[in-house]
Amino acid sequence: MHRQIAIIGSSGGNLYNLGGKEPQKLLDEILLQMESAGLTCIALQFIAAQTSMDSAKDTTGAALYSWNISKRAPVIIAEGTLKEVNQAAQRLDQEIAEQIDLGEIEGIIVMSADPENTNRRAFEAAARHKVPVTGTGGTSMAMLQSKGVQVISASGTTGTTNRTRAVAFVTSLCKHWRMPYRPVIGGAAVSADSTASGTSPWKRINIRGIMMASLPGFIGMALILAASKIPGLSQLTAVFDLMIKALPVIIAVIAAKQISELDEVSIVAGIVAGVLSVEGGIIGGMIGGIGAGLIVHYVFRKCVEWRFPATTVNIVAGGVSGLIAGLFVYFLIAPVALAAGESIRYLIETLVSWSPAFAGLIAGILIWPAIIGGVYHAAILPIVLLEMERTSNSFLGAVDMVGLVMVSAGITLANIIAPRDKGEAAVAAPGFAINMGFGTFVEAAYPFMFSNKLVFVGAIASAGLGGLLVGMFEVRGTAYVPSFLGPVTSNNTVGFLISMAASLLCSFLITFLVNKMSLYRDSKQTISM
């Protein structure tokens, strides 16, 4: 049996800054959680002002949301000044009060309501019929209790998010009616003992995804180091040193958010854990963030089940979870994690020192099969980031730039200048621009590599040549930056520039010749026919 619920309130004062200024998102989250619990929205009265109600005036712009039964969605039924919208809301208030009197509304969710005026009739009816009410807004909820309304849970708004409020609302109603409910987080219903595929936070641990999402922080660090080499900007060296310390925090935040999917709550937990994990380097930050994400998921769930106020739920889930995970890393894991990172860096340096040119050649030859086979992002990228943590550039990062980005740029450039047909030029042009302008999107070369074995072999050979030169010049660099900045961010500007140019030119010439041969062969076949 589906219980019928009314949603009553406004964008509020403090609520305005915590989701109220985007009413559609706020309402959508509540409706999503209600649907998971088997609750049905039957009525809606939500006043969305264009500024916080704490500073709003009668002339402030506003809109009134109501429930459209046929569309089963919120719709705007009135717009204008706040005074005009309040007058329309009073008429809707009367309709909701009549629904309550008829027994059509079995529960009410409240957010920053106005029991004295705009919502007076609805709550008078709710008090008469003992309709269970749950909501946020310290002042309004206190007023409701004083008027005899059956408030089953109440909380302030501070520290809450759209999701945590919605989960708290629905949990309270389901507890009151003893109905089963599993909060929807990240598009899937979850519970503390959830083990189904796609629902358990353990199954959202993805090292590759965490590293990829954290990459912009590493690139920012590399750009700061490059800028610090410019005469007059040497003071940026101190900024670079500070950013190195921030990298574990970045990774911890990304990990916590991806695993728990609780938005601001998980971000806070990740920051707290990350700050305490700094001494463990990026591996320590990864462990701290994963721990924070797992703990915040379960702590949040339990706090809601125990009917903690929504504000307290966020404080406990975010703060305490981050502390537990962070202190665990700080006292137990940090030395081990730091040693593990140093060992990986030492291993790379040792292998390269035996024969830099050979190491570069092998890395270059293997890098295309690695990215095509999915190994690059799972294994190579984490090693690149570990190398960059210490000096902001890396041996494998340099091989990435010359072996992937420059080779892709050469292949796409050849297909712009000498395409086998005009359509290929249109496909190649954006890829070349992104390769050169952003140092990424090497997949732009895939259509040409996969359609011609000679181009594919040429790509691997060109990458091998670039890697060989990287080793010979003992270059350390990075990809994911504009090509003209690549040499500047490296430890050997001239050597990196030569390596990049060689890879680009080699792949360009091979692809150019292959295309010309293909065109010549096609023309001969046409003539013979």
The residue type of 368 is: W
Q: At what angle do helices 281-305 and 381-391 cross, to 10 degrees?
A: 110
How long, in residues, is the chain? 529
CA distance 249 to 282: 8
Crossing angle (nearest 10°) for helices 120-129 and 82-101: 20
Supply the pLDDT for residue 423: 78
Q: Binning pLDDT at 50, 70 and 90, where does residue 382 land?
A: confident
Cβ neighbour number for residue 388 with a 10 Å cutoff: 27
* Residue 215 confidence (pLDDT) above 90: no
pLDDT of residue 303: 80
- Residue 378 binned pLDDT confidence (cut-offs 50, 70, 90): low
Query: pLDDT at position 473, please?
Result: 93
Reported as a pLDDT band with limits 50, 70 and 90, residue 222 is confident
What is the pLDDT, as a whole number, of residue 399?
93
What is the share, in percent, of the chain residues with pLDDT greater than 70? 93
| Mean pLDDT value of segment 286-303 | 89
Helices (H), 355-405: 356-372, 375, 381-391, 395-400
**CA 101 – CA 168 distance, rounded (Å):** 26
73, 144, 395, 396, 522 from 481: Cα distances, Å? 44, 57, 15, 15, 39
**pLDDT tens digits for 87-101?**
999 999 999 999 999
For the chain, which domains are there?
3-181 (3.40.50.2300), 201-341 (no CATH), 355-528 (no CATH)
- Please state the separation of Cα 303 from the chain's center in Å: 25
Out of 21-35, 145-159, 186-200, 449-463, pick the least confident: 186-200
CB 303 within 8 A of CB 316: yes
The CA distance from 131 to 414, in Å, is 72
pLDDT band at 151 (very low <50, low <70, confident <90, very high): very high
pLDDT at 527: 63
Which ranges of 130-200 does DSSP label H, i.e. alpha helix?
138-146, 162-177
What is the reported pTM? Answer: 0.65
pLDDT for 198 beyond 50: no
What is the per-residue pLDDT for 192?
39
Q: What single string gives the DSSP state of each residue in 124-140?
A: HHHHHHT--EEEE-HHH
pLDDT at 191: 45
pLDDT of residue 300: 82
For residues 267-279, average pLDDT: 92
Please determine, for residue 496, whether its predicted confidence score (pLDDT) is greater than 80.
yes
List, as one string, the DSSP characters of 433-468. HHHHHHS--GGGGHHHHHH-HHHHHHHHHHHHHHHH
Higher local confidence (pLDDT), 521 or 336: 336
> Looking at residue 197, what is its pLDDT?
34
Crossing angle between the packed helical segments 356-372 and 334-354, to the nearest 10 degrees: 120
Query: What is the pLDDT, as a whole number, of residue 139?
Result: 80
Residue 185 clears pLDDT 70, i.e. is over it: no
CA atoms within 13 A on the CB side of 114: 17
Q: What is the pLDDT of residue 168?
A: 85
Average pLDDT of the chain is 86
